[in-house]
Amino acid sequence: MQRLPEPLREPLTPMPVLLPPMLIAQAQVQMGCNGTLLQARGRAELKRAIELLKLSLSLEAEAATADGALASLQARLDSVRQALQQLGVRKLEVTSPSTWTRSPELKKPALTTASLQVSGELAPAQLQRLIRQVGSLPGVRLSPVDPRAQTSGDAASQARLLKAAYGSALGQAKTIAAAIGLHQLRPLEVEVEGGGGPPILMRAMASSDRAPFDPAELPEPVDRLSLLVRFCAR
């Protein structure tokens, strides 16, 4: 009986196993610890004085045609620009306009709306005038103001936040280690995260006999930082 030739078999090449970078980093951390691996998250926040307010607003105008809406928008922008200049607004920025047409409805003709965005920086003492004088102009919709702190103190603030957040994580790790009978801690890895505070909502007031908007009542800018620290406990 004639034997058939065996099919050619190519040698199998082992395929490398690719692990996600996060798993590789965690494996490296675990290999560097000859004890128990602990991790703790520390958080810290620091209030700072307000130096300026970051403002933004949207401006709209409507007309039967796109040309008419853009012309009306330009006229309103001139009024807004003059009012902001009187308040000493710095770094004034104006976006290019956009338009869209609303379909005609029952007893309502089609209208074209033109809009743009305006932003800048304002002294906190001008908050009341911004809301009353600019917020009451036609087509203006004020957005939340963003209190900003002095940039000159950013490095010092970051250093204080790091120290406080790491101290918080270290305290937690010591408590956990003591609970399981361990007393020596060695930091292996630190992952730093940031954070921020919410913007401040505002709108124009309808009457002049109400209490004014006081910039001193604005919450101070808050720098926040959180970090995750991995320790080797023995």
Q: Domains in the chain and their CATH numbers?
A: 34-49+151-233 (3.30.110), 50-149 (3.30.70.2970)
Nearest partner of 53 among 94, 90, 93, 95, judged by Cα:
90
What pLDDT score was predicted for residue 215? Answer: 67
Mean pLDDT per block of 10 residues along the chain (234 residues) reads 55 45 46 84 87 93 94 96 94 94 80 95 92 94 87 79 92 93 91 60 42 64 87 92
Q: Please, which residues bridge with residue 46 across strands? A: 223
The helix (H) or strand (E) run that includes residue 193 is strand 185-194
pLDDT 10s digits, 46-81: 888 888 999 999 999 999 999 999 999 999 999 999
Contact 71, 64 (CB under 8 A): no
Residue 109, classed as helix, strand or coil, is coil
Task: Give the pLDDT of residue 51.
Answer: 87
- At 202 the pLDDT is 39
Q: Which of 25, 9, 32, 6 is nearest to 186 (CA)?
A: 32
Between CA 214 and CA 69 the distance in angstroms is 36
The C-alpha atoms of residue 53 and residue 214 are separated, in whole angstroms, by: 13
Tell me the pLDDT tens digit for each residue of 146-175. 888 877 667 888 888 899 999 999 999 999
